[in-house]
Structure 1
Amino acid sequence: MPVLGALTRRVGHHRWFGAAARLLVPADRVVGRLTRGRVVALGLVPSLVVTTTGRRSGKPRSNPLLYVPDGGAYVVVGTNFGQTHQPGWALNLLADPTAEVAVKGRRLPVRAEVATGAERERLWRLLVDQWPAYEAYVRRAGGREILVFRLVPTGRGGPGGPEGRG
Structure 2
Amino acid sequence: MDLLKLADRSWPLLSRLAAGHTTVYRATQGAVGHHFPFMPPMLLLEHTGARSGILRTTPLVYTTDGDDIVLVASKGGYPKHPAWYHNLRANPDTVVQVGAERRRVRARVAGPEERGRLWELVLRTYSGFQSYADRTGREIPLVVLERV
Which TM-score tier does this pair reach, normalised by the shorter chain?
Answer: 0.7 to 0.9
Q: Which residue of 2 aligns with 1:60?
A: 55
Q: State yes or no: 1:32 paired with 2:25.
A: yes
Q: Considering only aligned residues, what root-mean-square deviation do their CA atoms show, in Å?
A: 2.2
1:139 corresponds, among 122, 134, 137, to 134
Give unmatched runs, 5+ long, in structure 1.
Answer: 1-14, 155-166
**Identity of paired residues, percent?**
37
Instruction: Please give the per-residue CA displacement for 1:107-160, whole angstroms capped at 9, x wherever unaligned.
Output: 11100011011201111110011111101101222x112110110110xxxxxx
Question: Which residues in structure 2 correspond to 1:1-166 (within 5 Å)?
Answer: 15=3, 19=7, 23=14, 24-40=17-33, 43=36, 44-141=39-136, 143-154=137-148
Instruction: Please give the per-residue CA displacement for 1:82-110, whole angstroms capped at 9, x wherever unaligned.
Output: 11111111110111111100011111110
CA distance in 2, matches of 1:65, 1:139: 20
* Structure 2 counterpart SS, 1:32: helix
CA distance in 2, matches of 1:37, 1:88: 23
Question: Closer, same or farther in 2 for the Cα pair 1:38/1:50, shift >3 Å?
Answer: farther
How many residue pairs get aligned? The number is: 138
Deviation at 1:56, TM superposition (A): 1.2
CA distance in 1, matches of 2:87, 2:62: 18
* Structure 2 counterpart SS, 1:137: helix
CA distance in 2, matches of 1:109, 1:56: 22
